Amino acid sequence: MRIRSRSIAALFVVSAIAGACGSSAAPAPTAAPTAAPTAAPTAATSTAPTAAPTAAGLGTATSDAALCTAPTAPAGTTLTVSSYGGAYQKAQRTGWFEPYAKATGVTFVENEESANATIKSQVESGQVTWDLVDVGNDFGLAGNAPLLEKLDYNVIAGNEVIPGFASDYRVADITYGVVLAYRTDLNKGVPQGWADFFDLAKFPGKRGIYDYSAGGVFEIALMADGVAPKDLYPLDIPRAIKKLDTIKDSIVWWPGGAKSQELIGSGEVSMALMWNGRAWSAKNVDNKPVAIQWNQQLLTADFWVIPKGTPNKEAAMNFLAWTICKQNNAAPSDSIPYGPTNTLAKANPAKAPELAATNVNATTAYFNDQWLVDNAKMLDDQFNAWKTK
Amino acid sequence: MTAPAKVNGRAGRKRGPLVTPWSWLVGPLLIVLIVAFLVPMWLMVVRSVTDPPGAGLANYQEFFNSEADLRVLGNTFYIAAISTIACLLIGYPYAYLMAIVPQRVAGILLIFVLVPFWSSLLVRTFAWEVILRDVGLINTTLKGLGLIDQPLPLIRNTFSVILGMTQILLPFMVMPLYTVMQRIDPELTRAAANLGAPPAKAFRRVFLPLSYPGVTAGCLLVFVLALGFYITPTILGSARETMISRFIADQIQQRVNWGLGTAMAVVLMVLTFICLAIASRFVKLRDVYGALGDES
């Protein structure tokens, strides 16, 4: 006797449901922690920035305020913080959430799925549950104003933050570098910068690049072609594409941080455009022969934003200010090589050499977040048109 | 030989009236379907023309003006079609085998099809990556055996994408096919042999046409599912294998440009409906629903 078709159908339907639940739980890893490089200060010099602060002015708060050394919060306060999970959020937890909770009695509820779209849907539906969100550099600019609370720079020490990394609706909480990471065993010699990244004759092998039009792909092509960091914007896309065509068939696109770490770790690529934290992990956690070339890095940051309409606005603002204070700002860099954003903050000397902020030199470039966001569609179109040809 | 009794144009059991005292049982499902499915779909269509406010057809214009978007859209249908054909070529013999072996063996074959189905899509896709990549299982084995010098380009191309998608979609092809096949009376094929047809001809003239409802059901199911894939093509393919759902996800999640994202989604949805409409010219869609578990 054959298996009855009814039982087949029932089994199939149950499997389909189970399978659908399983597969839908796998979102596309487009934005990993500290994804989407943001624009940099508009004056893209790498020395102590002299760029003018934003139009809003950066207030009067300093790190000498009592808020920084002896913070307080009303009893029973709960703060919901959303970040990117993993080692990144763990470093924020040990560096910021736990000490602050100990000092003030605030209870932290953590979320690990920070996403721009979630902020938008929360604010639009009027049900804001996140008090503080860590976002990438493509969010928090003037265009997102309807979704965010204006930051209070009479409480936050904005004038101590690296210029350009604090504005009306967002302030940088950690800096990181988009760097050239390379395999020491697969490359003869040390690549000196992006020109070597594009030199397949001298350094054969595949190249890993972040699969995002605003991820640095055009910037590094221009720098490899000889453009100075301060002249990067507005991006000369045709020129960048011409340069990228020289390595097009050797490019392996990575959609998220974990993938980039794996690509360089497995040796499938001999050089990669990567976030410095991931390169550090490939070397120190996975024990692979990976090194970082700090020349011509793109220094950028992740930012704190406060969704509009959150019931705990003041508590969130105070905690945010506390993390920016020079005494507290560098705390996460003890566990993860992501740097302080307060120019007066001192990172652990043992960890300082691993931080992007410490490795800034005359060749360091910055993203122009505003330009990248304003031209997002054009960038996406050009990038996709070239990539899919 | 008399034909089996036909009611409402279909052989088989007699169907009852539409409304019975038990009809209300459909109610809860209908409500869930409307609230959780139809309403959000409508809202999505509305948003595509109202975000940003006053957009009208601007989002659609933006989409159709973009050379890259259109190329990727075409590519999506192309890859979905190839995947469907691949699934059919592999799934049909497998289902046929399941239909002719003893029941216990068929049960084991069924488990082989279903078990991968129950594991995570992401895990299976990454497993393919580990097997196919330049430093992966196949290449290091072949290199170790001295058969090749340079790694074979098995990954980051259309081949690996089709391979990954076919493996994931195969159960959706095999199940409807098997359901239909094992209801086909083996006496019919034997009768054809009795009348002098060689095995191949008996198969082609008797079995194959009777299995068409299963083929249609499987192909439609696989095709529509394949259109929505983007994780597997992203991981296993190169930029040339990008599928439109990836763009939709980027616009919704990263760019937070919901107007454009929903417009793209609406375009995909409409095109899919058009495909189904075209398919319905060639096959009775009612047969498809019958293939998915009618009473035998």
Cβ atoms of A311 and A293 within 8 Å: the answer is no
How many domains is chain A partitioned into structurally? 2
Cα–Cα nearest to B265, from B278, B247, B253: B247
What is the per-residue pLDDT for A222? 96
Grade residue B285 by pLDDT with cuts at 50, 70 and 90.
Answer: low
| Confidence label for A28 from pLDDT (cuts 50, 70 and 90) | very low
Q: Tell me the chain A residues in contact with residue B67 when contact means C-beta distances shorter than 8 Å.
A: 381, 385
Task: Round to whole Å and give the CA distance between A296 and B96.
Answer: 61
B285 or B234, which is more confident: B234
Q: B121 to chain A nearest CA, in Å?
A: 5
B158 Cβ under 8 Å from any chain A Cβ = no
Q: What percent of chain B has pLDDT over 90?
A: 47
- Give yes or no for a contact between A172 and A335, defined as CB atoms under 8 angstroms apart: no
Q: Across the strands, what pairs with A181?
A: A272, A292
Q: Is residue B221 part of a domain?
A: yes
Residues A198 and A160 occupy one common structural domain: no
pLDDT at A181 over 80: yes
- The C-alpha torsion from A306 through A310 and A315 to A319, rounded to 10°, is -20
- B150 at A interface, C-beta within 8 A: no
Residue B21's pLDDT is what? 82
Contact (CB<8Å) A388/B72: yes
> B240: pLDDT confidence band, cut at 50, 70 and 90?
confident
Put simply, the answer to whether B254 touches A35 (Cβ < 8 Å) is yes
User: Is A126 strand, coil or helix?
Assistant: coil
A342 plus A223 within the same structural domain? no
Which residues on A lie below 8 Å from B139 (Cβ)? Answer: none
pLDDT at B227 over 50: yes
A186/A252 same-domain check: yes
> In Å, how far from its chain's centre is CA B96?
19
Vertex B254, ends B76 and B248: CA angle to 5°?
Answer: 25
Looking at the structure, do residues A168 and A199 belong to the same domain, yes or no? no
Do residue B69 and residue A384 have CB atoms under 8 angstroms apart? Answer: yes
User: Which of A328, A311, A266 has its CA nearest to residue B155?
Assistant: A266
Please, which residues 140-169 of chain A have a Cβ atom closer than 8 Å to chain B?
A: 144
Q: What ipTM, to 2 d.p.?
A: 0.76
Determine which of A72-86, A253-267, B4-18 has the lowest per-residue pLDDT on average.
B4-18
A268 interaction partners in chain B (CB closer than 8 Å): 133-135
A45 confidence band (pLDDT: 50, 70, 90): very low
CATH number for B81: 1.10.3720.10
Q: Is A385 on the interface with B (CB under 8 A)?
A: yes
> Does residue B239 belong to any structural domain of this protein?
yes
- Answer whether residue B190 is part of any domain: yes
- Mean per-residue pLDDT over chain B, rounded: 86
pLDDT at A226: 94
Q: Does A25 touch chain B (CB under 8 A)?
A: yes
Q: How confident is the model at residue A3 (pLDDT cuts 50, 70, 90)?
A: low
Q: How confident is the model at residue A56 (pLDDT cuts 50, 70, 90)?
A: very low
Of A17-31, A343-357, B46-60, B170-184, the range with the lowest mean pLDDT is: A17-31
B residues 1-60 closer than 8 Å to A (CB): none
Looking at the predicted structure, is the pLDDT value of residue A210 above 90?
yes
Min Cα separation A375/chain B (Å):
12
Q: Which residues of B are less than 8 Å from A26 in CB distance? A: 120-122, 231
CB contact, 8 Å: B119 with chain A?
yes
Residue with tokens 């003006």: B65
Beta strands in A30-138 (DSSP E): 78-82, 107-111, 132-135
Residue A54 has pLDDT above 60, yes or no: no
Report which of A212, A232, A208 is spatially closest to residue A221, judged by C-alpha positions: A232
Distance CA A371, CA A352 (A): 31
Name the residue range of residue B234's domain.
75-245+281-291
A211 touching chain B per CB within 8 A: yes
Higher pLDDT, A353 or A10: A353
Shared domain check, A313 and A290: no
Phi, psi of B10 (to 5 degrees): -120, 135
Residue A138 lies in a domain: yes
Of B168, B183, B242, the CB nearest to A388: B242
pLDDT at position A6: 57
Within a domain: B86: yes
A255 in contact with B, Cβ within 8 Å: yes
Q: Do B62 and A388 touch (CB under 8 A)?
A: no
pLDDT at A60: 82
| Residue A283: other Cβ atoms inside 10 A | 20
SS (H, E, C) A146-210: HHECCCCCCCCCHHHECCCCECCCCEEEEEEEEEEEEECCCCCCCCCCHHHHCCCCCCCCCEEEE
B285 or B205, which is more confident: B205
Q: Where are the beta strands (DSSP E) in B228-295?
A: none
Asked if B256 and A30 come within 8 Å (Cβ–Cβ), the reply is no
State residue A256's pLDDT score: 87
According to the model, what pLDDT value does residue A14 have? 58
User: Tell me: the pLDDT tens digits for B127-138?
Assistant: 998 999 888 889
The answer, yes or no, to whether residue A46 has pLDDT greater than 50, is no
- Residues A292, A198, single domain; the answer is yes
Which range in A286-290, B230-234, B292-296 is most confidently predicted, on average pLDDT? A286-290
**pLDDT at residue B12 above 50?**
yes
Rounded Cα gap, residues B164 and A10, in angstroms: 26
Same domain, A293 and A182: yes
At A123, the pLDDT band (50, 70, 90 cuts) reads very high
Q: Which domain holds residue A336?
A: 66-175+301-359
Kindly state whether residue B121 falls inside one of the protein's structural domains: yes
* A381 and A355 in a common domain: no
**Interface subset of A 26-65, CB within 8 angstroms of B:** 26-28, 30-31, 35-36
Cα A324 to Cα A140, A311, A319, distances in angstroms: 17, 22, 9
- Residues B28-53: what's their mean pLDDT? 92
Residues 309-368 of A with CB under 8 A from B: none
Name the domain count of chain B.
Answer: 1
- Top pLDDT among A43 and B203 is at B203
In this complex, the residue of B68, B106, B253 whose CB is nearest that of residue A115 is B253
Show residues of chain B in contact with A120, CB under 8 Å: 256, 258
Place of tokens 């003018």: A52
Q: Quick check: A380 contacting B, CB < 8 Å? A: yes
Residue A342 is classified by DSSP as B
Containing B218, the helix (H) or strand (E) segment is helix B212-227
Q: Is the pLDDT of residue A80 over 90?
A: yes
More confident residue, B279 or A290: A290
- B68–A15 CB contact, under 8 Å: no
Is A150 within a domain? yes
Does residue B57 lie within any of the structural domains?
no
Instruction: Pick the most confident of A61-70, A237-246, B48-57.
Output: A237-246
Q: What's the one-letter identity of residue B60?
A: Y
Cβ contact, residue pair B121, A22, below 8 Å: yes
Q: Which range has the worst mean pLDDT, A170-184, A270-284, B116-130?
A: B116-130
The reply to whether A232 and A264 lie within a common domain is yes
Query: Is A22 within 8 Å of chain B by CB?
Result: yes
Q: Which member of B118, B240, B294 has the closest CB to residue A388? A: B240
Res A35 pLDDT > 60: no
Residue B116 above 50 pLDDT?
yes
A378 touching chain B per CB within 8 A: no
The pLDDT, as a whole number, for residue B119 is 86
Amino acid at A276: N
A293 plus A309 within the same structural domain? no
What is the overall mean pLDDT for chain A? 86
In the numeric block, which tokens belong to residue A258? 């974990």
Q: What are the chain A neighbours of B234 within 8 Å (beta carbons)?
A: 28, 211, 255
**Domain with A314 in it: what CATH number?**
3.40.190.10
CB A376 to CB B230 under 8 A?
no
Kindly tell me if the per-residue pLDDT of B52 is higher than 50. yes
Q: Is B253 on the interface with A (CB under 8 A)?
A: yes
* Yes or no, beta carbons of A116 and B256 under 8 Å apart: yes
Chain A residues with beta carbon closer than 8 angstroms to that of B239? 211, 253, 384, 387-388
From A2, A28, A36, residue closest to B249, measured CB to CB: A28
Tell me: pLDDT of A40 over 80.
Answer: no
Most A CBs within 10 A among B66, B222, B254, hence the mutation to make, goes to: B254
- Residue B105 pLDDT grade (very low, low, confident, very high; cuts 50, 70, 90): very high
Out of B171, B254, B257, whose CB is closest to A36?
B254
Q: Closest Cα of chain A to B194: distance in Å?
A: 23
Percentages (nearest 5) of helix, strand, coil residues in chain B: 75, 0, 25
Domain membership of residue A16 (yes or no) is no
Please name the member of A8, A36, A255 whose beta carbon is closest to the beta carbon of B178.
A8
- The pLDDT of residue A354: 92
Q: Are residues A296 and A306 in the same domain?
A: no
In this model, does residue B214 exceed pLDDT 60? yes
Please give the DSSP secondary-structure letter assigned to residue A332. Answer: G
Least confident range from A37-51, A128-142, B192-206: namely: A37-51
Q: What is the predicted pLDDT for the residue at A95?
A: 94
Q: Do A159 and A277 reside in the same domain of the chain?
A: no
Cα of B239 to nearest chain A Cα, Å: 5
Q: What percent of chain A has pLDDT over 90?
A: 70
